[in-house]
Amino acid sequence: MTMIHSLRWQFDDPVHQKHVAERLIALKAALRAEVTDTTAPHSLRLATWNIMHFGNGGGYRRRPESMLYIAEIIDHFDLVAIQEVNRDLTALETLLEKHLGSDWDYLVTDAAGGHGERTDAGNNERLAFLYRRSKVVFCKETGEIVLPEGQEIAAPGADGATRKVQFARTPFSVAFRSSWFKFKLCTVHIHYGDDKNPPDLKHRRDEIAKIAGFLSDRQAAEMKAAVKRAKEDGWTEPQDAARDYSYILLGDFNIVSPTHETMQALSDAGFEIPTKLHTTNLGNSHHYDQIAFKSAHPGFQVIRSGVFDMLAHVYRDADAGHYVDHVKPERFKLDSKKRPRTRDQQINYFKATFRRNQMSDHKLLWCEIRTDFSEDYLTDIAAG
């Protein structure tokens, strides 16, 4: 349950306060209908969301209502991977402390820098996991993945020569447990570049292939070691020791389409996307965000998946007039060249830029995972 009491004291304007309250009611209803009312109480609701420059200032500084909306969305899930958290953690800390509350915690990477000639390649971004303590246990293992020497990514330099580089934004891997299901979760924000530039597209594909291959090899080694140890300890079914080494790879892969080589790079390493593929950009044209699985547990099941379109419920087209005529943010008044905007131009700015900066240019992607294997356990014992 989110902490929404700031709606009383942080909003001086009663008209806008009423507007935000109405949008929160609509948002809660949509999340119940699309997510919580259709999922089992003991399953895990896992999500990934590129939240777009979260914590940056200027046009990306979130308004008070945006923080309420973002918290409400996250609170309908149990474990959320967040991409594009800024170096300044003030917004993330505020989100947890003032809006999500004590049932939530987070883990976050250091801010990414660059490499070689591209000192801005990481864009000062962090990757984060937000998790509900009552449903998800942090298993005390984290790591930012660095490729071994000789296995780095081949990237073109300014002079056209190929050089070896690490990930622009280092993938973040954490071990979690939810009910009976223990797993390692790795989130990424893959290099984007230019869709029409073949070297950029190859760099993107290579980053996906490298992280998927690295995790696949890591899983195989861990499972082999666990089975060996179980045999030494005299287990009657030593293969059971491998079931705690499931891997989930999720985040913003900047995948072009289901048939593109960027998707192929993910599947070649054995990762599967067992549910419907969803488009996650606002224009519904790209499959940028993905949740991929390489499970080791025989009872593992992805029950369903979906995309939540926040702009269907908050900062809607129908809300543009309220912001232009009543709220009147300073940023609406002048364009980038300091020229006054007409009302129609302000409406267009709201639709094309403002609401994306306040929420995101990505929709949230989520899935429901089976985590309660108690009946399987009991059935196995009863079968003798």
Q: Name the burial class of residue 26, with classes exposed (0-12), middle (13-18) and buried (19+) by CB atoms within 10 angstroms of its CB.
A: middle
Instruction: Determine the average pLDDT of the residues in 294-310.
Output: 95
Determine the pLDDT at residue 326: 97
Per-residue CA distances from 289 to 8, 11, 50, 86 (Å): 36, 34, 8, 19
- pLDDT-derived band at 238, boundaries 50, 70, 90: very high
pLDDT at 72 over 80: yes
The two structure tokens encoding residue 341: 């905007």
Q: CA-CA distance, 143 to 26, in Å (whole number)?
A: 39
Provide CB contacts within 8 A for 319, sequence distance 6+: 19, 23, 350
Q: Which of 275, 267, 272 is nearest to 294 (CA)?
A: 272
Q: Name the burial class of residue 88, with classes exposed (0-12), middle (13-18) and buried (19+) by CB atoms within 10 angstroms of its CB.
A: middle
Q: CA-CA distance, 314 to 318, in Å (whole number)?
A: 9
Domains in the chain, start-ordered, CATH in brackets?
Answer: 6-314+359-382 (3.60.10.10)
Determine the pLDDT at residue 19: 98
Query: Is the CB of residue 251 less than 8 Å from the CB of residue 127?
Result: yes
Helical segments of 60-148, H only: 64-74, 90-94
Determine the pLDDT at residue 366: 97
Instruction: Determine the average pLDDT of the residues in 264-283.
Output: 88
pLDDT at 61 over 70: yes
**Cα-to-chain-centroid distance, residue 171:** 12
pTM: 0.94
The two structure tokens encoding residue 37: 């009312």
- pLDDT-derived band at 206, boundaries 50, 70, 90: very high
Per-residue CA distances from 216 to 7, 46, 248 (Å): 47, 21, 10
How many residues belong to the chain?
A: 384
pLDDT at 197 over 90: no
pLDDT at 121 over 90: no
Residue type, 302: V
Determine the pLDDT at residue 88: 95
Most confidently predicted of 162-171, 281-290, 331-340: 331-340
Determine the pLDDT at residue 115: 46
- pLDDT-derived band at 149, boundaries 50, 70, 90: confident
Q: CA-CA distance, 169 to 126, in Å (whole number)?
A: 8
